[in-house]
Amino acid sequence: MNQTDFSKHISDFFGSYLPNECGVTNNTIKTYSYCFTLLLEYFKEVELIRAQKLTLKHITKERIISFLNWLETTRKCSTNTRNARLGAIHAFFKYLQYRDVTGIAMWQDVLSIKFKKTGVKQMPFLSVEAIKALLDLPNRKTKKGRRDFVLIGLLYDSAMRVQELIDSTPSDIRFGDIVTIRVIGKGNKVRTIPLTDVQANNLKQYMLENNMLDKNKLNNPLFSNGRNGKLSRMAVLKIVKKYFQILKQNTSIIVPDDIGCHALRHSKAIHLLEANVNLVWIRDFLGHSSVTTTEVYARASDKMKKEALAKLNPGIIIEGKSSWQKDPQLLSYLKSLQLDF
């Protein structure tokens, strides 16, 4: 079967342009490839164009907008997810501007699609007391319970992103007077995070129990599945949400319905701010490229708002409140890029 121009360019985009010219991470490639898997699904189901017949002339501005609306209405994606998918499409059409100038007017037409505005949503986070209660839940008499205890504790203590945790290995841990973990974050930026003494001790005991200090196991996943491979993002989310649900059902602590792994990262940032840690240091701790990103936490803490108002007026009291039956080669190629997505 003859290769279409879309198939040719999508192969070059993922196989050469993104990794070699842009130097993006594997996680970015997985995310982008998933977007195009969805786009192929949309064209098959809605436009009745199969992957092996899809050409660049089919991918118009109007159809991309229809695809984005389909994500929200049919697949029930959030506005943020819609915008993330558009970001992947924009990246591909920016690539096309340099690879195929004959269609530049069409490429720029797609690039003119704007991101949809989203409402400002308050980030869910837990109090220090709630975090302590959460860490009391795993059954440390079982091996799996001890793993969950250390995993949740490390997510909070280090404020790591889930993918950063998944990619961590025993070789990233440095034991000494100050125990640290080396993290490779977004854009392959490396940062070193100090751990508290309690978390460092818990982590060391976990590593000893699982023989992770053996030099032959230093590059194994720090947290693995039953096949000794990396945990998936969904597996980590399932572990964390399990204990959030128990916390919600068995205590009087208020736990938001939409809370997930990122709430542990948010909670750590809020607690550092409430402890009067400098915002610039928190930026580096979280791995943000700009302090502007970190400033959102300064607006999120009710405790800090209350204390600030109390300093201005001590008399004021603030109450806290698709299935594809026959996978075309192009689809199979895209899915091969999504390992553990």
Task: Select from 336, 277, 325 the least CA-distant residue to 301.
Answer: 277
Q: How confident is the model at residue 334 (pLDDT cuts 50, 70, 90)?
A: low
What is residue 318's predicted lDDT score, i.e. its pLDDT? Answer: 39
Task: Report the C-alpha gap between 166 and 255 in whole angstroms.
Answer: 25
Average pLDDT over residues 101-126: 87
Where in the chain is CATH 1.10.443.10? Answer: 128-299
Active-site positions read 161, 186, 262, 265, 288, 297
DSSP state of 113: P
**Is 60 exceeded by the pLDDT of residue 322?**
no
Which pair of structure tokens corresponds to residue 272? Answer: 């550092």
What is residue 277's predicted lDDT score, i.e. its pLDDT? Answer: 81
Task: Report the C-alpha gap between 19 and 14 in whole angstroms.
Answer: 7
Instruction: Tell me, rounded to whole angstroms, the distance of Cα 315 from its chain centroid.
Output: 43
Which pair of structure tokens corresponds to residue 155? Answer: 């997510």
What is residue 74's predicted lDDT score, i.e. its pLDDT? Answer: 95
Query: Residue 335 corresponds to which amino acid?
Result: K
The 3-state secondary structure of 9-39 reads HHHHHHHHHHHHHHCCCHHHHHHHHHHHHHH
**Is 50 exceeded by the pLDDT of residue 321?**
no
Which pair of structure tokens corresponds to residue 218? Answer: 């230093």
Q: pLDDT tens digits, residue range 32-48?
A: 999 999 999 999 999 99
Task: Select from 137, 46, 119, 56 the least CA-distant residue to 89.
Answer: 56
What is residue 132's predicted lDDT score, i.e. its pLDDT? Answer: 93
What is residue 46's predicted lDDT score, i.e. its pLDDT? Answer: 96
Q: Does domain 128-299 have CATH number 1.10.443.10?
A: yes
Cβ pair 301, 279 in contact under 8 A:
no
- Output the DSSP codes for 40-55: HHHHHHTS---GGG--
| Cα separation values, 48 from 40, 53, 217, 339, Å | 10, 10, 49, 28
Q: pLDDT tens digits, residue range 166-177?
A: 999 999 999 998
What is residue 316's predicted lDDT score, i.e. its pLDDT? Answer: 44
What is residue 312's predicted lDDT score, i.e. its pLDDT? Answer: 46
Average pLDDT over residues 247-253: 84
Neighbour-count burial of 265, counting CB atoms closer than 10 A to its CB (0-12 exposed, 13-18 middle, 19+ buried): buried
What is residue 292's predicted lDDT score, i.e. its pLDDT? Answer: 62
What is residue 282's predicted lDDT score, i.e. its pLDDT? Answer: 82
**Is 50 exceeded by the pLDDT of residue 319?**
no
